């Protein structure tokens, strides 16, 4: 039996497919793209799910790339991290022994000292233990198995999920809410990549969708 989170993602993707099929059977004007999809800086096609036999650097950089996107870091910072992630995720486990780990980013900032990672803006991403991760804005993103939004609110604590405003939610309600704001096409692009991924990548994707939905809904309320 599939884990609950994987089963939920599968159900949502099937629902998207069914809705698209129904829509195709009823010729109706298509809404403008900008009104149905999220306008974010995220680059989901590159980096949500690392290779099955990824090196430690590839895994770390995949997490850093995701946290950079979620936090809305500068496009240049995101490009630097994702570019390095792309390179390191092409390295096999066998090749890793002959490949030196990244020391500096292309902008000259320190990238890794020992097992401590830094973002291209100089702020710490991960301490040596690996149990605590930070966003490029310095706020805590993950501590042990708990996740936090860029505004400091809890995203997931234990098995419980929360909306970015701090209110409690179930996992399925959170995903449904996010996809209703971001649009099915955008959600399908994200979820289709992580349906068979490890739990950490599934959880980060859910948090990314939730945070982008929160940012989008707040921006639409502003006069």
- What residue ranges do the domains of the chain occupy? 44-144, 145-223
Residue identified by tokens 């349906």 is: 195
* pLDDT for the residue 9: 60
- Banded pLDDT at 143 (limits 50, 70, 90): very high
Point out the least confidently predicted range of 1-5, 80-84, 152-156, 195-199.
Answer: 1-5
Q: Is the pLDDT of residue 2 over 50?
A: no
Q: Is the pLDDT of residue 60 over 80?
A: yes
Report the percent of the chain where pLDDT is more than 70: 74
* pLDDT for the residue 30: 31
Residue in 41, 139, 129, 53 with CA at minimum distance from that of residue 95: 53
Per the model's pLDDT, the better-predicted residue between 51 and 165 turns out to be 165
- Three-class secondary structure of residue 132 per DSSP: strand
Q: Is the pLDDT of residue 1 over 90?
A: no
Report the percent of the chain where pLDDT is more than 90: 55
Per the model's pLDDT, the better-predicted residue between 215 and 47 turns out to be 215
Confidence (pTM)? 0.79
* pLDDT for the residue 206: 95
Q: What is the pLDDT of residues 17-27, one digit of tens each?
A: 444 443 344 33
Residues 6+ apart with CB under 8 A from 136: 67, 68, 71, 73, 77, 119, 121, 123, 125
Q: Is the pLDDT of residue 87 over 80?
A: yes
Contact 172, 8 (CB under 8 A): yes
* pLDDT for the residue 193: 86
* pLDDT for the residue 183: 93
* pLDDT for the residue 176: 93
C-alpha–C-alpha distance, residues 209 and 179, integer Å: 7
Residue in 168, 138, 175 with CA at minimum distance from that of residue 153: 168
Contact 70, 208 (CB under 8 A): yes
Write the secondary structure of 82-128 as one string of H (helix), E (strand) and C (coil). Answer: HHHHHHHCCCCHHHHCCCCCCCECCCCCECEECCEEECCCCCEEECC
- Three-class secondary structure of residue 156 per DSSP: strand
């Amino acid at each position: 039996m599939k884990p609950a989170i994987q089963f939920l993602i599968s159900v949502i993707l099937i629902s998207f497919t069914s809705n698209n099929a129904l829509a195709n059977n009823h010729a109706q004007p298509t809404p403008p793209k900008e009104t149905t999809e999220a306008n974010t800086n995220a680059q989901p096609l590159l980096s949500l799910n690392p290779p099955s036999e990824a090196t430690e650097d590839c895994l770390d950089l995949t997490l850093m790339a995701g946290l950079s996107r979620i936090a809305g870091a500068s496009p240049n910072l995101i490009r630097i991290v994702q570019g390095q992630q792309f390179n390191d995720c092409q390295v096999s486990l066998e090749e890793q022994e002959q490949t030196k780990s990244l020391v500096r980013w292309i902008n000259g900032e320190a990238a890794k000292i020992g097992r401590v990672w830094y973002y291209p803006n100089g702020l710490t991403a991960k301490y040596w233990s690996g149990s605590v991760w930070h966003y490029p804005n310095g706020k805590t993103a993950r501590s042990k198995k708990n996740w936090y939004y860029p505004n400091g609110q809890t995203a997931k604590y234990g098995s419980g999920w929360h909306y970015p405003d701090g209110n409690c939610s179930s996992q399925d309600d959170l995903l449904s809410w996010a996809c209703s704001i971001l649009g099915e096409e955008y959600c399908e692009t994200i979820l289709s990549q992580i349906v068979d991924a490890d739990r950490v990548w599934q959880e980060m994707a859910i948090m990314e969708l939730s945070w982008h939905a929160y940012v989008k809904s707040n921006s639409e309320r502003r006069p």
